[in-house]
Amino acid sequence: MSVLIAVVIVVAFGALLLAITTGKKKGGKKQKGRAQIIRDANRKLSQDPHNTDGLIPLGELYYNERAWDKAYPLYETMMSIAPAHRELNPFQVSLRQGICALKLNKIQESFKGLGVAYNINKQDFDVNYYLGVACYKNNEFDKAVPCFKKALILRPDFSGINLYLGLALYKSKHYREALPYIKRAIDENPENKELLFSMADAMNESGMGDKAMKIFMHLRPNPDFGARSCLAAGLFHIKMNQPDKAIQDFEIALKHQNVPQDTMTEIRYRYATACFMTNMITKGLDALKEIQSTTPNYKDVPSLLARYQELNQNKNLQIYLMSTSSDFVALCRRVVMQCYKRQNSPRILDIAVTPEFVEISMNVEFARSEEIHLYRFYRTTGSVGELAVRDFHAKVSDTKADKGICVSAGNYSEEARRFSEGRPIDLVEKDGLIKILKKVDMS
């Protein structure tokens, strides 16, 4: 029995040694085979650069090893000589030329091979997938979409197609259609912040702002997508008439580093807008000045600067144009009282408030008479037209007022001025209003 056991051990040990020795021989043979392929191919190609017996095995070797920089010129050569060499597979060499070029980020060169391969076999998965990637990287998103859709049909379980297809649809502004693919891609890549931001933005564009906001708020601190998420959140809050929350969003965005210039300019512009909505004029002006230093003619920045610098110097003008309705009415009361001397005993008879204007009816005593004056205050900084002045004149006549004074923070059209001539109406434009406001003490 002991002899039998000893024999078994010896046989097993011998088999183990044989396996190790054979493995070493195989490994050495494999390494030697690779070196031999390279040596033989280079020798043949040194004599004839178009020698297919050298091109084919060497190209195969480098392609399988993913040595794209070495494989690319070989398949470039094979593709150019394929029509004259039957031993070359035109579909394969064209496809591989395109893939190698794509891997080397030679996007335009990749279209040459991938286009030929696509014309040979439109139903091949690799052709559709890599042609889609080439179109995507070339920012031709609408062309990439059908390629990825066909590739997804051919191999629905292939990882990565949902990502490319979802982002291609998103970037070609097919937001609602993009969402299911982006969601699947996120399941495959839960840490991909670009996908997360794209899904939120697509939701926002598809009318699902509330759901999108949760993602934008989550992404606000992210160094790559935080600034854009803050911008999107701020725009949503402005849309919902929540400028205070929008200001918080934009202030977080302004703290981010390495933000693209165009994005940062838009953030500053929206921040200034939100500041003006909340009467934070100084902060708004600072943001506009930052824009002016980098992009002087961005949107209406020059006109906004001129307007709000003037407002910043005249608190009463701020109230006239930007305050609540009650503050505006209080200012109008002070203005009409400022227009008369105390001995005239001015007395307010009536105040009418509409969305377009405020009207104040006054009783004024003079030395030998007593008159009714009707004031109308427009908050617009634009041009008041003839129809508005005609309407005011009709109101003056209906109320039997002796005089009408129409006040605007803007100006009046030529037709409005001509209509007022010869009628008991005075038109007060912006310059006249500012002179009066400087005399009014709201304290």
What proportion of the chain, given as a percentage, has pLDDT over 70?
93
* Among 234, 232, 229, residue whose Cα is nearest residue 244: 234
Q: Which pLDDT score is estimated for 342? A: 78
Write down the pLDDT at residue 314: 87
**Residues paired with 377 in a beta bridge:** 358, 407
In eight-state DSSP terms, residue 51 is: -
**C-beta separation of 298 from 291 below 8 A:** yes
User: Which residue is it, tokens 């200012």?
Assistant: 331
Give the pLDDT score at 76: 96
Residue 306 has pLDDT above 60, yes or no: yes
Across residues 155-179, what is the average pLDDT? 95
Residue spans of the domains in the chain: they are 33-121, 340-439
Confidence tier at 159 by pLDDT (50, 70, 90): confident
Pick the CATH number of 340-439 from 3.40.1350.10, 3.90.25.10, 3.30.1300.10, 3.30.450.20: 3.40.1350.10
Q: What's the average model confidence in pLDDT over 258-265? A: 96
Question: What's the first-to-final CA gap in the chain, in angstroms?
Answer: 118
Backbone angles phi, psi at 209, to 5 degrees: -60, -40
Average pLDDT over residues 108-114: 97
- Residue-level pLDDT at 277: 92
Judge whether residue 14 has pLDDT over 70.
Answer: no
Which has the minimum average pLDDT: 12-26, 38-52, 191-205? 12-26
Cβ count within 10 A of residue 320: 24
**The predicted structure's pLDDT at residue 201:** 96
* Confidence tier at 327 by pLDDT (50, 70, 90): very high
Q: Give per-residue pLDDT as tens, 353-380.
A: 999 999 999 999 988 889 999 999 999 9
The average confidence (pLDDT) of the chain is 91
Cα–Cα distance for residue pair 195/179, rounded to 1 Å:
10
Report how far residue 82's alpha carbon sits from residue 78's, in angstroms, rounded to the nearest whole number. Answer: 6
Gap between the Cα atoms of 374 and 382, Å rounded: 22
Arithmetic mean of pLDDT, 101-124? 97
Question: The CATH number of 33-121 is which of 1.10.1760, 1.20.144, 1.10.510, 1.25.40?
Answer: 1.25.40
